[in-house]
Structure 1
Amino acid sequence: MKKIRLAVIGTGMAWKRLHWPAIQELGDHYQIVAVCNKTKSDAVDFAREINLAQENVYDDYKEMLKRGDIDAVDVMVPIPENFDIYHDIVTANINLIAEKPLASTMEGAEKLLKLHKKHPVNIMVAENYRYNDEINKIRDIINQGKIGDVIYFINHNAVDFENQMTKNTFAATEWRQHPQFKGGTFLDAGLHDIAAMRHIFGKVDYVYAMGQPQQEDFSPYISVNSQIKFSNGVIGQYSYYTDGKETQRPLIGFRIFGNKGEIYLEERRCGTINITYRDGGSEQITYRPERGYFNELLNFYNSLLGNEEIAVTPEVEYGDVKMVFNILKSIKDNKAYPVDTKTNEISLV
């Protein structure tokens, strides 16, 4: 089996906890040929773990990109660094596994889309929620018509970010606690929920949102409450609570109401999708949590071999990012904003 020669930029927590375990599972698909980290000692330590020679370790990714034996680069760095690194990789005509978001601004995301047209390398945005088994199973259930026509949904995500800041978690990183980009944790983490909903329901006509301001650096709002109208007519409410947790079970979770039944996912790690029907029947569909990392890296591998299309392209991710920023604009301006429609005028009547 052909192995993809992979270089890595950023050997920190995201690499070690998310992508590296999936790469190990796909050991006959990928070969790591170079690693880079701004703190070189961290990259050195990882290289030793995998018996990678020290001449393949860098603290300057631009030097690493000059190598002639790289098929693709996997990047896991703080959000503000995404644009510059992605720009340099694409300009070097090297295939890219890009973490979300493409950039910390809409302007940056637009520039990368234009750059990609000039340099048509393979770019997969590692939006693991679009690759998670539970999200794809829910989409299949709806497409099969098992709950009839979808009428509306409720999606609620409560995150005790302030508590997580004191633990060995992603929230403990300085750049997330004091983000140098608009939206803070809503752009970083809420983007996952946005991607999942768009993956299930499709394109979005418009969003209207409200938020409760707070003084904490990690997010401008303690809660974001948004109404979403999808192009297929589905409407619903998405709430992101940035500094708290639900204290009662079952959780509100993700509930999708159809005219023949209801889908309920309590939380993404629970392992079970519950379906109830109006005729009194019910069923439970099990899944393996956290498979998005494996699935996305397998999709990328197959795309490089020409066996399948990339599921999450920059164009797909661009719509997710646009929706996040339009929710933030809606809160600020108290107006509804379009997402996938081209009109600038929105009527809520």
Structure 2
Amino acid sequence: MSSNTPLNIAVVGTGIFATDTHLPTIKTIPSLKVSAAFNRTKSKAEAFAEKAGIDKSNVYDTLEQAFEDDKIDFVDALLPVQYNLDAVKLAVKNNKPIAFEKPIAANLAQAKEIVKLAESTDLPILVLENWAYLKAISIIKDEVLPKIGEVLSFTYRATGAWNDNNKYLATPWRQNPEHVGGFLSDGGVHQLALLTEVLGEVESVSALTRQVKEESGTDDILFSTFKLKSKAIGTFTYGSAFGATDKSTSFTIYGTAGSVVYDWSPSLKTPTITYQTGPSSERASPKTVIEIANGDTIAEEFKNFAAAVAAKDKSIVNVSPAKAFHHFAIVVAAIESSKNNGSSVKVESP
């Protein structure tokens, strides 16, 4: 394939997110082209194809056809997560790179099988957790953390009010989730991708959860304490099922020689990274504030995957199934901990 020829993508699962986000994002990337589509309800795939400018002959009748089509360079799968394993099996069987939506699977057994499949092949396989592409991650990790000494603790908070107009509320797989954690894992893996990219893996979790809204299908708020493999300890709070309150998203990290706060709450005009150094309040430096735009993280993940597919190099992929397994396993541990009155639960490995 010429370097000037765009990679042809088959989109499988042509629902709201595929139509409203993936399609317009891919159209902004010259190296990519949506060329085929599949949906279990064929009329929905045909409507998507019309918006994408795809000929109806490239609307498949079966999921298998997307992976068998030699004209397709990779598959973009936006399926209910209980079907992710089936899609990855088809990808490996047909030697077709695949990017698929988070969380990685409906349960840890499925997730472990996906990790094993990914490790058995040289195919690029990406789990679409776009928060791993936030520009703030490299700034905090590479530029700021070295200035604040040993990381001792952290506070991660992502909370907000219930949104009656959330367009995903009527989606059956969200109202009646087959995947562990429901909304907590669906959105929580994004938060955990950010946290672990900066501070490393989580060793154990003590958590309490509750279901506030019937529409959530299962527990939808989480308050927890983490112990990291680095021995740092901290709190992780997540949920958007509360009554009227400002939406707050912030990540504070405390070190032996300073601290850093990343705040990307919607009320801010521009997200900020604020840090100060010094071993005590009497010997503290002035605060340094860095304004940092988050950028288009979904475009960045597609560019990342396109580079991996073009180079046939799975090591380029930013969020491998093994990484995504860890993010999901943290939520599973939190759910288990809550069922046991907040007792400490070790996060499983693949």
Cα gap change, 1:44 to 1:304, in 2 (>3 Å): same
TM-score (norm 2): 0.87
Letter in 2 for 1:267: W
Matched, 1:25 2:28: yes
What amino acid is the match of 2:18? W
Q: CA RMSD in A?
A: 2.5
CA offset at residue 200 of structure 1? 0.9
Conserved? CA contact 2:8–2:71, under 8 Å: yes
Report if the CA contact (8 A) 1:179-1:217 is conserved.
Answer: no
User: 251, 255, 258: which one pairs with 1:258?
Assistant: 255
Q: Which one-letter code corresponds to 1:154 in the other structure?
A: T
Matches within 5 A, 1:169-184: 169-184=167-182
Q: 1:168 to 1:205 in 2, by over 3 A?
A: closer
Aligned partner of 1:321 in structure 2 is: 328
Pairing of 1:83-102 with structure 2 (within 5 A):
83-102=85-104
* Aligned counterparts of 1:281 and 1:246: Cα–Cα separation in 2: 35
SS at structure 2 position matched to 1:211: strand
Whether the 8 Å contact between 2:75 and 2:97 is mirrored in structure 1 is yes
CA distance change for structure 1 residues 172 and 135 in 2, over 3 Å: closer, same or farther? farther
Decide which of 288, 291, 305 is 2:296's aligned counterpart: 291
Distance verdict in 2 for CA 1:207–1:246, change over 3 Å: farther
Q: Specify the alignment match of 1:336 in structure 2.
A: 344
- Alignment-derived partner of residue 6 in structure 2: 3
Is contact 1:152-1:235 (8 Å) kept? yes
Counterpart among 300, 316, 322 of residue 309 in structure 1: 316
Rounded Cα–Cα distance in structure 2 between residues aligned with 1:291 and 1:115 = 30
For 1:111, what is the secondary structure of its paired residue?
helix
Counterparts in 2 of 1:222 and 1:9: CA distance versus 1, 3 Å:
closer
Match of 2:141 in 1: 139
Equivalenced residues, count? 336
Provide the C-alpha distance between the structure 2 equivalents of 1:213 and 1:225, rounded to a whole number of angstroms: 12
Contact 1:8 1:75 in 2 (8 A): yes
**Cα displacement (A) at 1:31:** 2.1
Q: Indicate the residue corresponding to 2:43 in structure 1.
A: 41
Q: CA deviation at 1:186?
A: 0.7
Q: 5 Å matches for 1:184-223?
A: 184-212=182-210, 214=212, 216=214, 218=216, 220-223=218-221
Paired with 1:20 and 1:222, the residues of 2 have a C-alpha distance of: 29
One-letter code aligned to 2:12? I
The Cα shift of 1:59 comes to 4.2
What is the aligned partner in structure 1 of residue 224 from structure 2? 226
Aligned-partner residue type, residue 325 of structure 1: V
Displacement of 1:46 in angstroms is: 2.7
TM-fit CA distance, 1:135: 3.1
5+ residue gaps, structure 2, are 278-283
Deviation of 1:265 after TM superposition, in Å, equals: 2.8
- Alpha-carbon distance, 1:252 to partner: 6.6
36-45 vs 239-248, greater mean Cα deviation: 239-248
Alignment check: 8 A CA contact 2:155 2:251 kept: yes
Equivalent residue, structure 2, for 1:167? 165
Paired with 1:252 and 1:89, the residues of 2 have a C-alpha distance of 36
Question: Contact 2:208–2:338 at 8 Å: present in 1 too?
Answer: yes
Preserved contact between residue 154 and residue 237 of structure 1 (Cα < 8 Å)? yes
Distance between the aligned counterparts of 2:262 and 2:202, measured in 1?
22
- Does residue 148 of structure 1 match 2:155? no
Counterpart of 1:123 in structure 2 is 125
Q: Distance in 2 between matches of 1:214 and 1:53?
A: 45
Aligned-pair identity (%): 26
Q: 1: distance between equivalents of 2:221 and 2:52?
A: 43
Alignment of 1:72-111 (within 5 A): 72-111=74-113
- How far the C-alpha of 1:209 sits from its partner, in A, is 1.2
Instruction: Provide the rounded CA distance (Å) in 1 between the counterparts of 2:52 and 2:83.
Output: 26
